[in-house]
Structure 1
Amino acid sequence: MEQSVKEEGKTMAIISYITIIGLIIAFVMNSSKNNEFAKFHIGQSLRISILGIILNVVVRFLPDSIAIVGSILSLGILVLWIIGLINAVKLKAEPVPVIGTIGG
């Protein structure tokens, strides 16, 4: 991927990691530009968001005694989010660990 493509998509890539609303905004902004760097990070952010939603649904059904596991996994999702955001800021197109290559 060329440096100019990365520079053009950097803002959209960063926005995609700022909550679900940022993900939607980045997706809409990139639909007309079709920037590969932004598309990559939108996909990474989408994977992290879906994992977070699934985790929240599952944890709601766990007994309180093992809900601490959900808290620990939520910290893992936060770490993935930070890794993705740092990659976007540094213009790297590296998948986040564990879930970065799923479905893509």
Structure 2
Amino acid sequence: MENNVTTADNGKTASIISYFTIIGWLIAYFAMHKDNRTELGSYQLRQTLLLNIAAIVLGWGLGFVLGILITTTGIFSLVSISYLVQLGIFIIWLIGLIGAINGQKKPMPIIGEKAQTMFASI
């Protein structure tokens, strides 16, 4: 019986740690989840992987496009678009983190369901 408690605990711990940057995700996956897979851990790791990828791609892509637009137009208020996107990512991250802390398999808005199909092997 004690092993089941430990397994559930490890799944929750890995879930929470995976929310703290891509380094946290790597630690959660390789140190906690890979040899002791749990349903909760897999669910949250899939979501955080897609969230990290989306945040990186949006950050770089938006930075590149806005950089060109600001350079060519001189309209520096375009930076506010980047702030709005970052705020949106933060809100999605926070919703997911609260679900992980509560031990729930609750999908993140926009990306949650897609992550479950894209990374089904995790």
TM-score (norm 2): 0.76
Q: RMSD of the alignment, in Å?
A: 1.7
AA paired with 1:47? L
What do the CA deviations read for 1:13-67 (whole angstroms, capped 9, x no partner)?
Answer: 0000011110000110211111111111111111111110011111222223323
Which range moved further: 64-73 or 24-33?
A: 64-73
SS of residue matched to 1:33: coil
Paired position in structure 2 for 1:47: 50
Find the aligned partners of 1:54 and 1:97 in 2 and give their Cα distance.
Answer: 18
Match of 1:93 in 2: 105
Q: 1:59 aligns with which of 58, 62, 74?
A: 62
Larger Rg: 2
Per mean C-alpha deviation after superposition, the further-off stretch among 82-91 and 61-70 is: 61-70
Comparing 36-45 with 65-74, which one deviates more in the overlay? 65-74
Matches within 5 A, 1:1-104: 6-28=8-30, 29-61=32-64, 62=66, 63-64=69-70, 65=75, 66-103=78-115, 104=117
Distance 1:83 1:7 in 2: 20
C-alpha displacement of 1:74: 0.6
The CA distance in 2 between the partners of 1:56 and 1:16, in whole Å, is 19
Count of residues in correspondence between the two structures: 102
**Runs (5+) with no aligned partner, structure 2:** 118-122
Partner SS, residue 94 of structure 1: coil
Q: Quote the sequence identity (%).
A: 34
Query: Once the 2 structures are TM-superposed, how far is the Cα of residue 6 of structure 1 from its aligned partner?
Result: 4.2
For residue 32 of structure 1, give the secondary structure of its aligned residue in structure 2: coil
Q: Tell whether the 8 Å contact from 2:11 to 2:37 is kept in structure 1 after alignment.
A: no
